[in-house]
């Protein structure tokens, strides 16, 4: 996906959200750090343009509710910032960049329940790459990207990464000799970063 595709996808999602909600009443947009927050801000701006109404936007850090804390190195915590109106009896739209196993969203639902009881929670994602571990489905999807388990989806946004793009990165084939694998890795244009940094879910 290029910048234009991302922009059009967000505009469509904004219209879908408003159509589903029959307007912007009681909407609260919450992004899941880090790139979900950026997308949430963009989505809220889009909603504002369409409806000419102020849409509360915030961020929801799910780190402390994850179920894989003990399987990975310690994760840094991000900021949780709820809009002043809270989430009680609101329609919360969770925004994330990539929907993959569904575990992040499970953690987000748990985290959200600590702040109150929304009337409804909807999920908007830029990319749905399949391979769900949990019975979770997005309400609004920017693009369905069929991927293999071994591939990685990288989302870059201009606010944090300089430019807008979504790319599928091919994995290094493990059967190849180590030297060849290194060469293959080096041949890949994009530098491979930490998984969480790469905005993969």
Partner 1 sequence: MRHLLSAADLDRDTAVHVLDVAEQMAATQRREIKKLPTLRGRTVVNLFFEDSTRTRISFEAAAKRLSADVINFSAKGSSVSKGESLKDTALTLEAMGADAVVVRHSASGAPHRLAHAGWIRGAVVNAGDGTHEHPTQALLDAFTLRRHLVGADGASRGRDLAGKRVAIVGDVLHSRVARSNVLLLGRLGAEVTLVAPPTLLPVGVDGWPCTTSYDLDAVLAGRTSGPLDAVMMLRVQAERMNAAYFPSAREYSRRYGLDARRLALLPEHTIVMHPGPMNRGLEISAEAADSPRSTIVEQVSNGVAVRMAVLYLLLSGESVSGGNP
Helix axes 3-21, 35-51, angle to 10 degrees: 60
In whole angstroms, give the CA distance from residue 133 to residue 83: 31
Q: Which residues bind partner 1 (CB under 8 A)?
A: 61, 64-65, 69-80, 110, 114-116
Least CB distance to partner 1 at residue 117 (A): 11
Element (H or E) spanning 127, and its range?
strand 120-128
Q: In 10 A of CB 132, how many CB atoms?
A: 15
Runs of H (alpha helix) within 22-132: 35-51, 103-113
Least CB distance to partner 1 at residue 23 (A): 29
Of the two residues 49 and 133, which places its CB atom closer to partner 1 in the complex? 133
Least CB distance to partner 1 at residue 46 (A): 25
Of the two residues 114 and 151, which places its CB atom closer to partner 1 in the complex? 114
Of the two residues 5 and 115, which places its CB atom closer to partner 1 in the complex? 115
| C-alpha angle 173-66-26 in degrees, rounded to nearest 5 | 115
Least CB distance to partner 1 at residue 33 (A): 11
Least CB distance to partner 1 at residue 105 (A): 16
- Please count the residues of the chain: 201
Of the two residues 134 and 176, which places its CB atom closer to partner 1 in the complex? 134
Q: 96 with 45: CB under 8 angstroms?
A: no
Of the two residues 64 and 176, which places its CB atom closer to partner 1 in the complex? 64
């Amino acid at each position: 996906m290029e910048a234009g595709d991302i922009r059009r996808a967000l505009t469509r999602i904004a219209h879908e959200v408003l159509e589903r909600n029959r307007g912007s009443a009681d909407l609260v947009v919450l992004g899941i750090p880090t790139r979900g927050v950026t997308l949430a801000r963009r989505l809220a701006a889009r909603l504002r343009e369409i409806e000419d109404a102020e849409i509360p936007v915030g961020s929801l850090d799910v780190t402390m509710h994850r179920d894989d804390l003990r399987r990975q190195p310690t994760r840094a915590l991000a900021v949780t910032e709820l809009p002043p109106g809270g989430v009680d009896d609101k329609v919360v739209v969770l925004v994330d960049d990539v929907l993959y196993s569904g575990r992040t969203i499970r953690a987000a639902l748990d985290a959200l329940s600590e702040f109150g009881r929304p009337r409804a929670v909807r999920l908007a994602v830029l990319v749905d790459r399949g391979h769900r571990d949990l019975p979770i489905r997005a309400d609004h999807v920017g693009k369905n990207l069929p991927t293999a388990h071994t591939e990685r989806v990288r989302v870059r946004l201009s606010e944090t990464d300089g430019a807008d793009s979504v790319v599928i990165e091919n994995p290094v084939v493990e059967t190849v000799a180590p030297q060849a694998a290194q060469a293959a890795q080096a041949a890949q244009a994009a530098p491979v970063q930490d998984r969480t940094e790469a905005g993969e879910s």
